[in-house]
Amino acid sequence: MLVFAAPGQGSQSQGFLAPWIEASPGLANRLAALSEACDRDLIQLGTAADEDTIRQTDNAQRLIVGSAIAIYREFFQGQAQAAVGHSVGEFAAAAIAGIISDEDAMRLVSVRADAMAKAAALQATTMAAILGGEPSEVEAKIAASGLYSANFNGAGQLVAAGSKENMANLVANPPEKARVIELKVAGAFHTPYMAPAVEELAEAAAGVVASDPEIPIWTNFDGSRVDSGSTFLEHIIAQTARPVRWDLCMEQLSNETAKVVELPPAGALAGLIKRGAPGASALALKNLEDVAKVDSL
C-alpha cells in the first residue's frame, strides 16, 4: 500500500521550496492558487522568507499544508493508495483523500493557524521534546510537572506542553534516562490552552462540505482508519486541543506493511517510521532526485 504522509509544524526550513519550483513551473501556478485561498504568498514564504518568518505559527501552518498539497498534485496526482498526516498535516491528507477540496483545506488551516497564534498569545506557554526514558515514567513525570503530553510521536519521542515556568522545571529535572529539548514554538499546542482555537475552527468548518474519503486515511485522534469524511473533519477540529497520537498511526502503517512517502518539507516522519514502525518502509522527499525513488520503494 503506497501511503502519502503530510508533515506537521516544525518541519519547514528556509528556502525548501525553491528547487521544486525551479524544476516545475506548474508547481508555481498551483502554489499561487493555494496562496489566494489562504491569504499568504506561499512562494515567497517557501523560497525567500527567513527562518523567523516561517517559524511563526500563522505562516508555518499555511506553508506546510500548501506545499504538501501542491507537490502531491504536481508530481503524484492519483498515485496515493492511502493518506495520513501529522498534526496540521492532516489537512493536506484530507485533501489528498478527497474529504475536502484543496481550497477548503487552505481556508481551514488559515483559520486554525491564526486562532492558535491568538490562543498562544494569551499565556506564556511552550513545548519540549522528551527523548528516551521509560514511556510510562515520562508521562507520569510530565503530569507531575503540571504539564500535558501533547504529541505521542513514537520511536522514543514524546512532546510535553504547558506553562513556561513548569517547563523550565522539567528541563532542569528531566525524567530518568531522558533528554528534554525545548522547542521553538509559540505555545502549548494540542492542549486545553488551545480551546479558543477549537471554537473558531469549528465555526469555520460548519460551512464546509466533507465527502467520505476516496482512499484509506488514519486519524491522529486515536490512530484508527476513518471512513466518514464528516467524522474525520470533526477529529481534526478537536485535535487542535487534543494530543497527537502519531504513535498509533504508525502502528497501523506497520500492520499494513505500508510504503510511506513523506511529502515536503520532509524528513521527520520518515525518520520516526523507520525507527518506530518495523513493518513499514518510508521515503522522505527531500529533493527532486527522491521523486524517482517512489516507484522502487
**Backbone phi and psi for residue 11, each to the nearest 5 degrees, phi listed first:** -85, -15
Supply 30's cell numbers: 498551483
Q: Which one of the listed residues 67, 145, 190, 235 is annotated catalytic?
A: 190
- The three cell numbers locating residue 121: 498569545
Give the pairing of strands 125-132 and 148-154. unpaired
Q: Is position 224 annotated as part of the catalytic site? A: no
228 is catalytic: no
Q: Is 88 exposed, middle or buried (CB count within 10 Å of its CB: 0-12, 13-18, 19+)?
A: buried
Tell me the three cell numbers of residue 89: 498535516
Catalytic residue among 11, 35, 67, 87: 87
- Residues labelled catalytic: 87, 190
